[in-house]
Structure 1
Amino acid sequence: MPEMIRAYVRTVDRISDYVGIVAMYLIFVMVGVLLLDAITRNVIDIPLNWCVEFTQFTLAAYYFMGGAMSLKNEDHVRMDLFYERLSERGKAWLDAVTIFCLLFYLGVLFWGSISSLGYAIATNEKRFSMWNPSMIPIKSLMVACIALMILQTISIFIKTVAKLRGKAI
């Protein structure tokens, strides 16, 4: 494989790892905010209206940010009816075919997320609640993370083609 392709795979894999590690630490943010909510609500009787909603946004960020790393590390769900019985080459062929299905799905998701972000920006969309937060930051993060998942899927395809050719990246 040309060095430029190898550099692409290394760069995308590294970015996916960094974003995934940041996502892992969001669990502590969610626990901290929910703990703050429990203490202020039950101990000092001052309910904070934003805590649960902030945790919901953080959870959405958590699963979007973890998507690319999950793909890279093959931590995703795989229907294993006959996949494990295939040879390494057979697995690579099946992966190459299913990657196109994944790219189609992510492409549609990316197109919809861009449309949704455009709407949020055009209308200054806010979530209808007591806290009334803007939807633009979470939708921007959604677009960026779906783009990263597409880039990671292309990286996986390159690795799969290399495996089919009997070469490692």
Structure 2
Amino acid sequence: MKALLALSRGIDWLNERVGRMALWLILASAIVSALNAVVRKAFDYSSNAFLEIQWYLFAAVFLLAAGYTFLHNEHVRIDVLSSKLSPRGRNWIDIIGIVFFLFPFVYETVRLSLPVVINAIASGEMSSNAGGLIRWPVYILLPIGFSLLGLQGVSELIKRVAFLRGLIDDPLVKKNEKTAEEELAEFVRAKQQKEAN
């Protein structure tokens, strides 16, 4: 099990790095969007390439950060039932979800997208829009992003099994990490206190 936990840590490290890189793509998308608006208003010029690069960047953020989101347990959950379960019950639910839903979905997505990517690269497929971009860079994000998500699924499965065997703490409990809601609440409280003073 030690080797599997080491593998899990390696996968976590990879998705942490990729996810942090994806954060910079959000900034790049905002800059491209702002430049597009300035050029369009100031010089009365527009290009479909500007719009498409924004779509490509958004796709990159969404797909490349999926594993990162899973790593930080920030993906969408339905806690109505699982919140009433014990930690062991919640981890069993995750194991079932990973094995019977996540892995088959990731496998099928990668299997079905690879021929599309290969065909787009071989044909040099271009956007049908005037001034559009080549398509394969955005197509290749699909198998890469889902592969990273699948790898994170492997890591999370290892952690769930290790927890059930009593080898690690509950991986579903966040360690010194605040949720987005907690961070927002703190920000609002600090702002209200500042305005009150």
| TM-score range normalised by the length of the shorter chain | over 0.9
RMSD of aligned alpha carbons: 1.4
Q: Deviations over 1:28-59 (max 9, x none)?
A: 11111111111111122232332111101110
Q: Which residue matches 1:152?
A: 152
TM-score (norm 1): 0.93
Counterpart secondary structure, 1:52: helix
Does residue 112 (structure 1) correspond to residue 112 (structure 2)? The answer is yes
Gaps of 5+ in 1: none
Structure 1 residues 2-151: aligned runs within 5 Å = 2=2, 4-100=3-99, 101-151=101-151
Instruction: Give the deviation of 1:159 after TM superposition.
Output: 0.3
User: How many residues end up aligned between the 2 structures?
Assistant: 168
Gaps of 5+ in 2: 170-197
Instruction: Give the deviation of 1:142 after TM superposition.
Output: 2.2
Counterpart secondary structure, 2:79: coil
Conserved? CA contact 2:48–2:129, under 8 Å: no
Identity score, percent: 29
Instruction: Give the deviation of 1:95 after TM superposition.
Output: 0.9
Q: Based on CA coordinates, which of the two structures has the bigger radius of gyration?
A: 2
Structure 1 segments (4+ residues) deviating >4 Å: none
Q: Distance in 2 between matches of 1:50 and 1:95?
A: 41
Conserved? CA contact 2:103–2:150, under 8 Å: yes
Q: Distance in 2 between matches of 1:125 and 1:86?
A: 50
Q: Distance in 2 between matches of 1:84 and 1:115?
A: 41
Instruction: Give the deviation of 1:141 after TM superposition.
Output: 2.5
Letter in 1 for 2:48: N
Q: For the structure 1 residues 48 and 118, does the alpha-carbon distance in structure 2 shift closer, same or farther, using more than 3 Å as the test?
A: closer
Counterpart secondary structure, 1:166: coil
TM-score (norm 2): 0.81
Conserved? CA contact 1:40–1:48, under 8 Å: no
